[in-house]
Chain A
Amino acid sequence: MLSWLFSVATFAGIYALLALGINVIWGMGGMINLGMAGFFALGAYASALATAAGGLPIPIGLALAAGLAALAGGLLCRLTLRLRGDYLAIVTLGFSELVRLIAANEIWLTNGSDGISGVPGPWRSELTPFQFNMLSFALVATAVIVVWALAERLRRAPWGRALRAIRDDDTAASVAGKPIRRFKVQAFALGAAILGLAGAFYAHYTSYIAPDIFRPLITIYIFLALTAGGTGNTTGAVIGAVAVVLVLEGSRFLEGWTSVLGGVQKAALREIFIGVALIAIMQLRPLGLLPEKSPGPFLERKSR
């Protein structure tokens, strides 16, 4: 039971990393990344291949995952920079499909739809499963805290303030002399790096990855986490991610009570619930449950 709790908490940590990555791109940068699953997969495959097939140590795998995802994200962002955000949405979604295609078809590299099993985990062979879950949780939690602190620091730093100014009004920001394009590409690459890192953690924790794991559905989970927590709010992203994992895991308990429905139907109901919840929160609480704190206008308006 305790082991299971650590396992759920580890997944919550991985989701929190994903939400933090998307928060840099969408929450702070105002750019859309609908191909989140693609960056997640890219990081997972990069690290898994580097360590399982290449025999490199895990920290190098993590760095490779973050670096490759950042490179891909920077290129995609660069490509659509001059266009409206809609194009970035389409290109990123296309990118994640491409990653999935490559993962499913380049069998010599990725073992196709059978996936890669036996991805090394830190000291997996020397620890009991319970100890391994505990260690994984500790490592992922450390990563979440580091990334959270970094993101929070960046958000308040001049870089983050300029980025948020660009998000809210890029004309005004460019009049103020901010190099908009450079900021956007940097933010997208940084966010993508965090997504790639989350993918690497996933691969090393579960020891098994396959193309089907990185379905677009996971992108919706993370947008739900971020929207529920408050778009642009770093702490909200982490809380939202934990809440989404609790809902997903909690619905497994509910499933036990209903025996009328088949497995496919139960899974379908859960996904319907997630989708409806996202749309409902977007409509009812567009700023999220914990809105981004704004310093407010310099001079308070008297009316209202």
Chain B
Amino acid sequence: MLDLLPQFLVNGIITGALLAIPTIGFTAIFAVLRFPNFAVASHATVGAFAGLVANVHWGLPAVPSLAFAFLISGVVGLVSDEIALKPLRKHGALTTAIASIALTIVLENIVRFFFGNELRGYDLPLVRDIRFSDIRVNPQQLENLALAVVIMILVFAALKYTRMGKAMRAVADNPGLADLKGIDAILVGRVVAFAGMGLVGIGGMLFGLGTSIDPLTGFRFILPIFAAAVVGGLGSIPGAVLGAMIVGIGEEMSALVLEPAYKSAVGFFAIVIVLTFRPRGLLGERAY
């Protein structure tokens, strides 16, 4: 069993990198809008299906399909936030969180209404696994990994160097002070709702590329996403990446001791362990 360790580690790094993308979206929304947005589940599904339409129905390759998934889930994220969640924020984070679950049910069922419950797959060229001595990797997985890394670099660059990125960090860090400086918190909130859910949509499609998708796709990833965000520190974007890596590697490594069906339970135990010993997460709650 131990000779499989390098293989599990590689799988874990790939899973972790893919998980990092939606986790960044979730944690960024938490940092700026101050509530756990459970609608990430349905937005991952929306992104996965938007990518499916672009890829299967229009015949686009993977990268433009991912861009389309980003755009559609971002727009859905922005519009649904404006209509459903924004008016509730004044009643508190928990009320908004409940509404975000209701929103997830609504969006998931809109997808179900049009696409049904069948499993669907993307239209990608089949390629043979590459072997590095004992480790086997699918080129598609490598491509996904590369895409995830590029997206992460773009996100960090945007946060560090653009005016909007700086404004986002300011609002996340200290909304009162940001307001005093004349930063438009409403505009920042809209950009975060769009970009955050866009990233979640990309995440949904990236996961789907490896397997197949149905309306419940997003819900299956909700636990690892939360776990990654909590482990890294809720609201911390570098924490999201770190947490995603830990949960991703943990999930794949769990195959050494657990049945594969319990992979997704790893997230729950990661949350429990971190909350017991380091309640604010590994990197704390500072956004960046």
* Pairing of A with B: yes
30 contacts between A and B (CB under 8 A): A32-B97, A85-B93, A85-B94, A86-B94, A87-B275, A89-B36, A89-B94, A89-B97, A90-B271, A91-B271, A91-B272, A93-B222, A94-B268, A97-B265, A97-B268, A101-B264, A105-B261, A223-B98, A264-B112, A265-B112, A267-B109, A267-B112, A268-B112, A271-B106, A272-B113, A275-B102, A278-B98, A278-B102, A282-B91, A283-B87
Say whether A86 contacts B222, CB under 8 Å.
no
Q: In the bound complex, what is the Cα–Cα distance between A87 and B223 (angstroms)?
A: 13
User: When A and B form their complex, what is the total count of cross-chain residue pairs whose Cβ atoms lie within 8 Å?
Assistant: 131
Name the interface residues of B217-238: CB closer than 8 Å to any CB of A: 219, 222-223, 226-227, 230, 234
Q: Is B67 an interface residue (CB 8 A)?
A: no
A53 to chain B, nearest CB (A): 22
Contacts of B30 in A (CB 8 A): 86
Closest B residue by C-beta to A286 = B91
Q: In the bound complex, what is the Cα–Cα distance between A34 and B102 (angstroms)?
A: 11
B84 to chain A, nearest CB (A): 5
Contacts of A279 in B (CB 8 A): 84, 88, 99, 102-103, 106
Q: Which of A79, A89, A216, A262 has the most CB of B within 10 A?
A: A89
Q: Is B147 an interface residue (CB 8 A)?
A: no
Contacts of B35 in A (CB 8 A): 86
Q: Is B138 an interface residue (CB 8 A)?
A: no
Say whether A101 contacts B38, CB under 8 Å.
no
Name the interface residues of B273-288: CB closer than 8 Å to any CB of A: 275-276, 279
Contacts of A262 in B (CB 8 A): 116
Q: In the bound complex, what is the Cα–Cα distance between A30 and B97 (angstroms)?
A: 13
Q: Is A104 an interface residue (CB 8 A)?
A: yes
Q: In the bound complex, what is the Cα–Cα distance between A34 and B222 (angstroms)?
A: 13
Q: Is A83 an interface residue (CB 8 A)?
A: yes
Say whether A272 contacts B110, CB under 8 Å.
yes
Say whether B275 contacts A274, CB under 8 Å.
no
* Given A34-B101, A271-B105, also A264-B264 (CB < 8 A): no
Q: In the bound complex, what is the Cα–Cα distance between A279 and B275 (angstroms)?
A: 31
Say whether B38 contacts A93, CB under 8 Å.
yes
Say whether A86 contacts B234, CB under 8 Å.
yes
Q: Is A40 an interface residue (CB 8 A)?
A: no
Say whether A79 contacts B116, CB under 8 Å.
no
Binary A-proximity of B12-31 (CB < 8 A = 1, otherwise 0): 00000000000000000010
Q: Is A217 an interface residue (CB 8 A)?
A: yes
Binary B-proximity of A4-46 (CB < 8 A = 1, otherwise 0): 0000000000000000000000000010101000000000000
Say whether A264 contacts B116, CB under 8 Å.
yes
B196 to chain A, nearest CB (A): 16
Q: In the bound complex, what is the Cα–Cα distance between A272 and B103 (angstroms)?
A: 9
Closest A residue by C-beta to B226 = A90
Contacts of B113 in A (CB 8 A): 264-265, 268-269, 272
Q: In the bound complex, what is the Cα–Cα distance between A82 and B280 (angstroms)?
A: 10
Our pick among B97, B99, B110, B219 for the contact of A278 (Cβ within 8 Å) is B99
Say whether B230 contacts A90, CB under 8 Å.
yes
Closest B residue by C-beta to A261 = B113
Contacts of A219 in B (CB 8 A): 101
B104 to chain A, nearest CB (A): 8
Closest B residue by C-beta to A287 = B91
Q: Is A214 an interface residue (CB 8 A)?
A: no
Q: Is A220 an interface residue (CB 8 A)?
A: yes
Q: Is A276 an interface residue (CB 8 A)?
A: yes
Q: Is B156 an interface residue (CB 8 A)?
A: no
Q: In the bound complex, what is the Cα–Cα distance between A32 and B265 (angstroms)?
A: 21
Contacts of B272 in A (CB 8 A): 79, 91
Q: In the bound complex, what is the Cα–Cα distance between A95 and B268 (angstroms)?
A: 7
Say whether A104 contacts B93, CB under 8 Å.
no
Say whether B109 contacts A268, CB under 8 Å.
yes
Our pick among B98, B223, B271 for the contact of A282 (Cβ within 8 Å) is B98
Say whether A282 contacts B99, CB under 8 Å.
yes
Say whether B94 contacts A93, CB under 8 Å.
no
Name the interface residues of A22-80: CB closer than 8 Å to any CB of B: 30, 32, 34, 79-80
A91 to chain B, nearest CB (A): 6
Q: Is A172 an interface residue (CB 8 A)?
A: no
Say whether A79 contacts B227, CB under 8 Å.
no
Q: Is B162 an interface residue (CB 8 A)?
A: no
Q: Is B212 an interface residue (CB 8 A)?
A: no
Name the interface residues of B188-237: CB closer than 8 Å to any CB of A: 219, 222-223, 226-227, 230, 234
Binary B-proximity of A131-171 (CB < 8 A = 1, otherwise 0): 00000000000000000000000000000000000000000
Our pick among B98, B259, B268 for the contact of A32 (Cβ within 8 Å) is B98
Q: In the bound complex, what is the Cα–Cα distance between A85 and B98 (angstroms)?
A: 12
